[in-house]
Amino acid sequence: LTEAAYARIAETDERIGAFLTLNEEAARVRAAELDQAGAAKGLLHALPAGIKDNIVTKGLRTTCASQFLSNYDPIYDATVSGKLQDAGAVTIGKLNMDEFAMGGSNENSSFRPVRNPWNTDYVPGGSSGGSAAAVAAGQVYFALGSDTGGSIRQPASYCGVVGLKPTYGLVSRFGLVAFASSLDAIGPITKNVEDAAYVLQTIAGHDRMDSTSADVSIPDYVGSLSGDIKGMRIGVPKEYMGEGIDPKVKEAVLAALRVLEDLGATWEEVSLPHTEYAVATYYLLASSEASSNLARFDGVRYGVRADDPDNLIDLYRKSRSQGFGQEVKRRIMLGTYALSSGYYDAYYLKAQKVRTLIKRDFDQAFEKYDLLVGPTAPTTAFRIGEQIGDPLTMYLNDIVTIPVSLAGVPAISVPCGFADGLPVGLQLIGKPFDESTVLRAAHAYE
Ligand code: GLN
């Protein structure tokens, strides 16, 4: 399987651009070890895996697709990287992304863009575009991505694969390079829902190395895929089916709802009234947290250091000016502004309060429904270059994934057909820590 993965990469990745670093030598040694008689057989035995390049891997270059970390070789494994190893997966390499996970098209990678395997003139989505494209192109069996405001679900949707963002805190963030710590979540990108259940089973669980990791017992996700969703109550947020949603995407979602109905579920419209404030709230909070998290990149502790500084301040300034790309700088400036004294109450604090209102919309809906269903993204993939000059349009692509991130609840994207030859994604959103229901419904649908 390892050889097949590298052969497929050799054949396709010049066009796709999913990988930033390959782990060929170590992967072959590892595969040979797993091949030996008597080798322990974990849940993911010998399966070729790709890991997004913001998840640290011991001794294997981890760049976050940033010039700043272009020479960074971590001295430890993220908790999830270790768990994959323990389960027998083979790390094939590190996957391309938007720099520091900021973006929704993979055009913000400072190395090269990723192309959508279904049509290479189109973006794969982002920021886990490399992860989604690698799975869609058959280069790896599964990949890990990270989702702060949609970065697993939206690229999964654009590339016609499955992407699961778990409940905040279910999967350890230890070793994930932080973007917005109160929102970041690691999850699987896979070819089907069953695979997603296997990978989640492997990576979920409490970790004392992450203070926000939840101490909850982990159910049998794979065992919950019974196919039975009779009597399941589904709410369809009307804000997710209204203005700005491509009619063809809406049509595909309505067709999927009919399938769920045939399987014995019932659905009706529900309102999440604060949806319209989600994008603004997210960009204030995520940028604020990013500006604080990215302060650690000073040219002293990590990555590339600028040459010939005049003094310490100049070293910081030069290293950060040279190391960060345009979008990352935009976020740092936005976030620093929102957190600055005099503006804090008006922006950051206000956004925190609105976040609570958005969370309450979900709490209320889940009093009545087991699941919320809608599109994953308002459109299918767009052309490379089409939106890159217009950050606001780009930000609006996450209009239906961001509220879920702000609420911290789990959601999956599964393929639900095509529009104009490109995949459409169906988003199924669950109660906190109720990944089992999300997976069961997605599996029954698929
Ligand atoms: N596209 C969103 C952003 O640019 C989401 C990114 C993410 O989830 N990492 O912030």
Any atom of ligand 1 within 6 Å of the Cβ of 155: no
Q: How far is the CA of 403 from the centre of ligand 1 (A)?
A: 12
Q: Residues 187-242: pLDDT tens digits?
A: 999 999 999 999 999 999 999 999 999 999 999 999 999 999 999 999 999 999 99
Q: Residues 109-142: pLDDT tens digits?
A: 999 999 999 999 999 999 999 999 999 999 999 9
Any atom of ligand 1 within 6 Å of the Cβ of 327: no
Q: Residues 350-378: pLDDT tens digits?
A: 999 999 999 999 999 999 999 999 999 99
Q: How far is the CA of 310 from the centre of ligand 1 (A)?
A: 36
Catalytic residues: 52, 127, 151
Q: What is the pLDDT of residue 392?
A: 86
Residue 68 in this model has a pLDDT that exceeds 90: yes
Q: What is the pLDDT of residue 220?
A: 98
Of 157, 75, 82, 87, the residue nearest 122 (C-alpha): 157
Any atom of ligand 1 within 6 Å of the Cβ of 101: yes
pLDDT band at 32 (very low <50, low <70, confident <90, very high): very high
User: Distance between CA atoms of 219 and 206, rounded to whole angstroms?
Assistant: 13
Interface predicted TM-score (ipTM) of this complex, two decimals? 0.98
Place of tokens 């949707």: 157
> Any residues with CB less than 8 A from the CB of 328 and at least 6 apart, and which?
66, 99, 100, 102, 108, 290, 294
Q: How far is the CA of 141 from the centre of ligand 1 (A)?
A: 24
Residue nearest to atom 4 of ligand 1 (CA): 103
Q: What is the pLDDT of residue 37?
A: 87
CB 373 within 8 Å of CB 425? no
- Nearest-atom index, ligand 1, CA of 150: 8
Hey, which of 97, 329, 398, 401 would you mutate to test ligand 1's pocket, going by the most ligand atoms within 8 Å of its Cβ?
398
pLDDT band at 393 (very low <50, low <70, confident <90, very high): confident
* Cα distance from N-terminal residue to C-terminal residue, the chain: 25
Beta bridge partners of 170: none
- In this prediction the pTM is 0.98
Any atom of ligand 1 within 6 Å of the Cβ of 102: yes
Any atom of ligand 1 within 6 Å of the Cβ of 147: yes
> Mean pLDDT over residues 85-104, rounded?
98
Residue 243 in this model has a pLDDT that exceeds 90: no
Average pLDDT for the chain: 97
